Amino acid sequence: MNRFIVLNLFLFLAACQNEANVEDVEGITDVSEAEWEVEEFEFTNQYEDDFGLNDVKDGYWIANFIFTQCPTVCNTMTPNMVNLQEAVNNESVDVEFVSFTVDPTNDSPEVLRDYAERYGVSEENWTFLTGYNDEDIRQLSEGSFRQEMRDDPEGNDIIHGVNFFLINDDQKIIRLYDGMNTPINEVIKDLKQVGL
C-alpha cells in the first residue's frame, strides 16, 4: 500500500515542480496558485442520469478516484470519504462529493449504487460517476487531476491517485488532501474559510 502513496507523491511533485506557491503541510497540499483547472466532462451517475461539470460549477466540490473491486487503497479511502462527508454534513457545510470510477467496464451505475450502500454513503451530496471508457478516465485523471492511472502488471489492481481534491467554483483545484489519512478537521476549516 505504501508504494501507492510514494508513487502519487512523486507524481505530484514532478507535476508541480515548476508551479508557484505550492505548499504541503500535514497531508494538505495547497495548489491554489498552480492553475489546475478541471476540464469539461459529462458522464453517467449511479442513478443513470447525466452528470457533468455544469452540475457542480456554482459551488465547491471534493473529488476522488476509486473502483468497486479495488483490493487495496479504496478500502481505506472510501471510509475516509464517508467520515469526511458525515463531518461536513454535521457542520452544514455546502459541498458536493464526486467519485470517478477508474474501472468503468465493471462499475455500472447499479454496481456503484450497491457500493455506495455497502459503505453507508449519504447520496444526497455524493455522486459516483461512470459511463466513459478507460481512455476517457485516464485522460481526466492524468490531465485535469495530474494523477497517473495504469493497470498493475502484478495483479488485478488499477493504480490510481489516492488524493481527495478540493475544487472551487471556478473549477480550479485548490487543495489536495491525503485520502489515506484524511485531515478531516482541516478540510472543514478550509471549507469554512471560503464561506461554505
Task: Tell me: pLDDT of 25 over 70.
Answer: no
Please tell me the distance from the alpha carbon of residue 144 to that of residue 189, in angstroms, as a whole number.
25
Whole-model pTM?
A: 0.86
CATH number for domain 2-193, candidates 1.20.1090.10, 3.40.30.10, 3.40.50.920, 2.170.150.70: 3.40.30.10
pLDDT digits (tens, 9 = 90+) for 167-182: 999 999 999 999 999 9
Residue 128 contacts residue 118 (beta carbons within 8 Å) = no
Domain boundaries, the chain: 2-193
> What confidence score (pLDDT) does residue 11 get?
41
Q: Report residue 104 as a C-alpha cell.
A: 468503468
pLDDT band, very low/low/confident/very high, at 156 (cuts 50, 70, 90): confident
Do 74 and 66 touch, CB atoms closer than 8 A? yes
Whether 183 contacts 27, CB under 8 Å: yes
Q: What cell was used for 176?
A: 489536495
Average pLDDT estimate for 81-96: 96
Give yes or no for a contact between 136 and 39, defined as CB atoms under 8 angstroms apart. no
Find the mean pLDDT for residues 16-30: 56
Q: Which three cell numbers stand for residue 53?
A: 461539470
